[in-house]
Amino acid sequence: MAIAERTAGTISPPDIHARPGWAGWLSTTDHKRIGIMYLVSAFIFFLIGGIEALLMRIQLGTPDNTFLTPDVYNQMFTMHGTTMVFLAVMPLNVGLGNYIVPLMIGARDMAFPRLNALSIWLFIIGGLMLYVSFFAGGAPNVGWFAYAPLTQKQFAPSAGVDYWIIGIGLTGVASIAGALNFIVTILNMRAPGMTLSRMPLFVWMQLVVAFILIFAFPVLTVATIQLLFDRHFGTRFFLPAQGGDAVLWQHLFWFFGHPEVYILILPTMGIISEVLPTFSRKPIFGYAFVAYSGVAIGFLGFLVWAHHMFAVGLGPLANAFFGAASFLIAVPTGVKIFNWLATMWQGSLNLTTAMHYAIGFISMFVIGGISGITLASPPINVQQTDSYYVVAHMHYVLFGGAIQGIFAGVFYWFPKMTGRMLDERLGKWQFWLMLISFNLTFFPMHLSGNEGMPRRIYTYEAGMGWELWNLLSTIGSLLLAVAVLLFLWNMLTSLRRGAIAPADPWDGATLEWAVSSPPPSYNFAVVPTVQSRRPLWDRKYPHLHESHDPGEESMERLGAVMHDAAETEPPIPAGAIHMPSPTYAPLILALGIMVLGFGIIYLGDLGLAAAAAMLVGLLVMAGGIVSWVRISHVDSPHHAH
Amino acid sequence: MRTHPRSLARLVGPVLLIGSFFALAACANTPGNTYDPQGDHARRIYELLIPIWWMALGVFVVVQGLLVYAVWRFRRRPGSAAMPAQVHGNTQVEILWTVAPAIIVLVIAVLTFRTQAANAVMPADAMRVTAVGHQWWFEFQYPELGTEGKPIVTASDMYIPVGRPVTVVLEAKDVIHNFWVPKLAGKTYMIPGKTNYLTFTAEQPGIYRAVCAEFCGEAHALMRFRVIAIDAAEFDRWVAQKRVPPPAPSGTLTVNGLTGDAARGQALFLDARKQCISCHAIEGTNARGAIGPNLTYYGSRQTIAAGILPYSPENLGRWLREAPGLKPGNLMSRVLTPQWIRANLSDQEIADLVAYLDSMKVSVALPPER
């Protein structure tokens, strides 16, 4: 067995590579620090998106309410959707992936640490630019789906839509760069012996998501740039009155938008596939089925976009095709659910908070999956689409599913990241309060939707039969906020007073538990050699090793033969490990892009002044690139590989 | 947080109670309830939903039951440190639960395609009504029923005969809207630059609530309409009256202590300085504005301003005074600002206009609200 020296209980070595204080964070290229920055900034955006949701729920609590004006309400649902998708759930997954994936595969960092830093800065700047719109004439008010031609300047004159285009564009570049980074890292930097068939399922799902991302996001980027040109430079891509096509936007948007659903949910399915085995003390049931069903979902996700468009009038044949393809997704999804159940079956279930959330994920995701079946059926869809039924369905998938999965991941990995345990008692209170209030909030929406309540209405009249459902939803949403505050409290107090986390608090099976909590900046003093899917588990319980899945054995022999030599290698002194130097270059480059972005937003209206801003932005970018190249050059001669 | 079998059993009662409450409530006869279909299109959807609903319930019970059972049965008990058997998988079992959902969705797909085909049929003898979506109101034209090539044009109330298929030709003037009469038919988008068709038959006379279901801008929530389904003879009577312009107005109407004069009201309406005719048309007069709704026989409308106020002379007066506050963003409020109204429309003039618009009525026996 040749994994790294276990450092449980020892103090992690000083971080020799980071600058102290704030400078350390602004100039970091450490995947762990970048992961934490993703998680913290995405959690802040999650809180803001939650406040937007609460304001909407207060407005809808009673009929004919005047708490919000229609325009403010429209800004709220646009920003809530945009925030939760692009600025909360996606980056929370990226943050967990950024921190955990290199550790899980036995790597010392991501393949491109500086590109990784650029991604986090572009993400933060993109998110901030979206929110600047509130102070620049109003936030976007056209929905996160931004259907044409409502987004044209004549219908949406405020700069909100332009901020939306640029903000989404920047987070999109961040995501694409991040996805390429994940792909190269996962394919090239796995520890010796970690074949694809031994890779943890969380890593598998991050890999699938990275591929989805690089195919889906550019389509959105192109569509939004076309929209920008429509608004400012006289093109008519989406303006039917002048020969454009409003439906084209929907095709482009949903060709991105449906795969986006899997970008949000697959990483959390990966989390569940780690948490359930650990707390069941069993390996995942049907590793290959779970991995390949994720691949199948990712692939099918590109063939179903028009099920968001069944009421558009594409014709019965197109609707039938997209309906059938959507039904097919039930198969790999069902496989995952059953494999998770089988993983728990005859296990020894340790019902920690993370396990509570993993079980809650399965339960709520099943409801979201079932309610999706009727939406996949074109005839039923035309009754349910654009009604509150969809709001219910989608939140069972993205809150009951993705958010609960992320909470499972956070409770699972928080000790690894911070060196402190979260309070389990408080965590379980949070879980039950969240589960109950989540259902109180979103279950009634199935009913209000089926009783004819359309989405995205800022008010409704009394007497439609929707009053009770809306009141229950509003009460539920307030309790949900309390549950989130419980987590915030738990996190803040545990960071200071939580029990000290050992290296391996959960009796884990994967490599991240083989290093101290938190890990040293270089992760592994000795790059481990892997001989199975559960490298740490097999080291701790060698007597159980023989009960291996025969399919895995044949795949593993190759890796084992190649890397046995590593076992005898002496540990390398910490200082001798080459790590990328800290640098401000990515931050400078991102700031330059931000200035360029502001210039683009106002180029149509301000002309020369905006062009000057663009020039300044380009110069700052050039400065960033030059210093980037210099630091790469300085770093490269010492390269240890 | 351990779950005991007895506490699980104790949960069954409340869960059943809550479940049946929701089930009953969902079936209540509320105005927009898709579970209370009154048209063939909506009924076929409902009939497809029921078997799928039972299958879904079956899947729900099985999966949640297995999950709860697994948590209860295999939870770690204090003091038991036994290591469970390290089972990695079982190919046969996995093939089984790959095939099982595939069979279920295959059945659902077959049922789905049958319904889809039935709901796509457009009979040749269907009556055509063109519905046009505007920010934020619905216009209805009856091209086959007008005189001299001019269709019957109205807004916000869509009259149709019961028992005869109606093909709605869906268009949009500005942005995308979505035509939804939950009790009669599923939604179909109204898209600028594209024509869509939706065919349905109302099975029962009734006034049906309907809305725009696609977000279409500031006052999207206030874009509603009614479908008024009446029996064929009554519908023919409605058509016969709508084909001729309203007679010259006469008479007075007292609202809130002010007596309006209909003839004076017509003169005001046609006075370009009062701005009405820049946007509105009334058959048989010089009012030919094509931007706002056609106001011919306005006195028979069910609602004011696309469903936001029930029709009454009092509410009409209120609308003329307070349009900007009642429907934010609407086009009329950009002209009839409070300052403009103070300068150009006295309370007496509003009373006259109300008397005129209220005087134009079509006599139809109205069906009940459904």
pLDDT tens figures, A472-499: 999 999 999 999 999 999 999 999 999 9
A302 touches B at CB < 8 Å: no
- The percent of residues above 90 in pLDDT, for chain B, comes to 82
Q: Which of the residue ranges A220-229, B83-92, B210-219, B346-355 would you say has the lowest mean pLDDT? A: B83-92
DSSP string covering A534-590? -HHHHHH-GGGTTS--HHHHHHHHHHHHHHGGGGGPPPPPGGGS--PPP-SHHHHHH
Give CA angle at B237 (B236, B242), nearest 5°: 95
CA distance A182 to chain B (A): 28
Give the pLDDT score at B336. Answer: 84
Question: By mean pLDDT, which of A109-118, A576-585, B57-66, B255-264 is the weakest?
Answer: A576-585
Tell me the pLDDT tens digit for each residue of A430-444: 999 999 999 999 999
pLDDT at A542: 86
pLDDT in tens, B342-351: 899 999 999 9
- Alpha carbon of B14: minimum distance to chain A alpha carbons (Å): 14
Share of chain B above pLDDT 70, in %: 94
Cβ of A465 within 8 Å of Cβ of B76? The answer is: no
Which residues of A fall within a CB distance of 8 Å from B38?
Answer: none
Q: For residue A576, what pLDDT is reported?
A: 67
Q: What is the pLDDT of residues A123-157, one digit of tens each?
A: 999 999 999 999 998 999 999 999 999 999 999 99
Q: Do B112 and A281 touch (CB under 8 A)?
A: no
What average pLDDT does range A576-584 have in this prediction?
A: 83
Tokens of B333: 């409020």
Residue B322: pLDDT band with limits 50, 70, 90: confident
pLDDT band at A9 (very low <50, low <70, confident <90, very high): very low
| CB contact A339 to B (< 8 Å) | yes
Alpha-carbon gap: A396 to the closest alpha carbon of chain B (Å): 14
Q: Does A541 touch chain B (CB under 8 A)?
A: yes
3-state secondary structure of B100: helix
Over 90: is that where the pLDDT of A225 sits? yes
Q: What is the pLDDT of residues A30-53, one digit of tens each?
A: 999 999 999 999 999 999 999 999
When CB atoms are compared, the residue of A69, A247, A334 closest to B97 is A334
Residue-wise over B55-64: b if at least 16 C-beta within 10 A, else e? bbeebbeebe
Mean pLDDT for all residues in chain A: 91
Helix (H, G, I), strand (E, B) or coil at A129: helix
- Cβ within 8 Å of B, A 598-637: none
Band (pLDDT 50/70/90 cuts) for residue A555 is very low
Inter-chain touch A548–B94, beta carbons under 8 Å = no
Query: Does B280 score more than 50 pLDDT?
Result: yes
A246 to chain B, any CB pair closer than 8 A? The answer is: yes
CB-based contact, B12 to chain A, within 8 Å: no
Give yes or no for a cis peptide into B247 (omega within 30° of 0). Answer: no
Q: Which of B112, B114, B209, B226 to mutate to test the interface with A (most CBs of A within 10 A)?
A: B112
For residue A2, what are the contacts with CB-CB under 8 A and spacing of at least 6? Answer: A526, A528, A529, A563, A564, A566, A567
pLDDT one-digit tens code per residue, B142-158? 999 988 889 999 999 99
Contact A451 B100 (CB under 8 A): no
pLDDT above 90 for A543: no
Model ipTM?
Answer: 0.94
Cα(B285)–Cα(B270) distance, rounded to whole angstroms?
8
Burial tier of A411 (Cβ tally within 10 Å: 0-12, 13-18, 19+):
buried
Q: Residue A19: pLDDT above 50?
A: yes
Reported in sequence order, the residue ranges of chain B that DSSP labels E, i.e. its strands, are 127-134, 137-147, 150-155, 157-161, 166-172, 177-181, 185-190, 196-200, 206-212, 224-230, 252-255, 258-261, 303-304, 309-310
Give A449 to chain B, closest Cα distance, Å.
9
Give how far Cα B314 sits from Cα of A158, A394, B332, B353, Å. Answer: 36, 43, 19, 12
Partner A contacted by B344 (CB < 8 A): no
Helix, strand, coil percentages in chain A from 3-state DSSP, rounded to 5: 70, 0, 30
pLDDT classification of A568: cutoffs 50, 70, 90:
very low
Lowest mean pLDDT among A520-524, B1-5, B207-211, B310-314: B1-5
Q: What pLDDT, in 10s, does the model give residues A93-114?
A: 999 999 999 999 999 999 999 9
- A157 close to B (CB below 8 A): no
pLDDT for A13 beyond 90: no
Check whether B2 has a pLDDT greater than 50.
no
pLDDT band at B161 (very low <50, low <70, confident <90, very high): very high
| Average pLDDT value for chain B | 92
Taking CB atoms and an 8 Å cutoff, what residues of chain B touch A149?
174-176, 192
Q: Which two structure tokens, joined as six digits, stand for A215? A: 């195919």
- Residues of chain A above pLDDT 90, percent: 86
Per-residue pLDDT, A5: 40
Please write the tens of the pLDDT for every residue from B64-98: 999 999 999 999 988 877 899 999 999 999 999 99
Residue B311 has pLDDT above 60, yes or no: yes
Secondary structure of A193-231 in the HEC alphabet? CCCHHHCCHHHHHHHHHHHHHHHHHHHHHHHHHHHHHHH
Over residues B132-145, the pLDDT tens digits come to 999 999 999 999 99
pLDDT of residue A639: 46
With an 8 Å Cβ cutoff, is B86 touching chain A?
Answer: yes
Q: What is the mean pLDDT of residues B210-223?
A: 97
pLDDT tops 50 at residue A558: no
Q: Which residues lie below 8 Å from residue A183, measured CB to CB, with a gap of 6+?
A: A207, A210, A211, A214
The model's pTM? 0.93
What pLDDT sits at residue A397? Answer: 97
For residue A497, what are the CA distances in angstroms to A21, A91, A490, B67?
A: 21, 27, 10, 35
Residues of B in contact with A345 (CB under 8 A): 70, 74
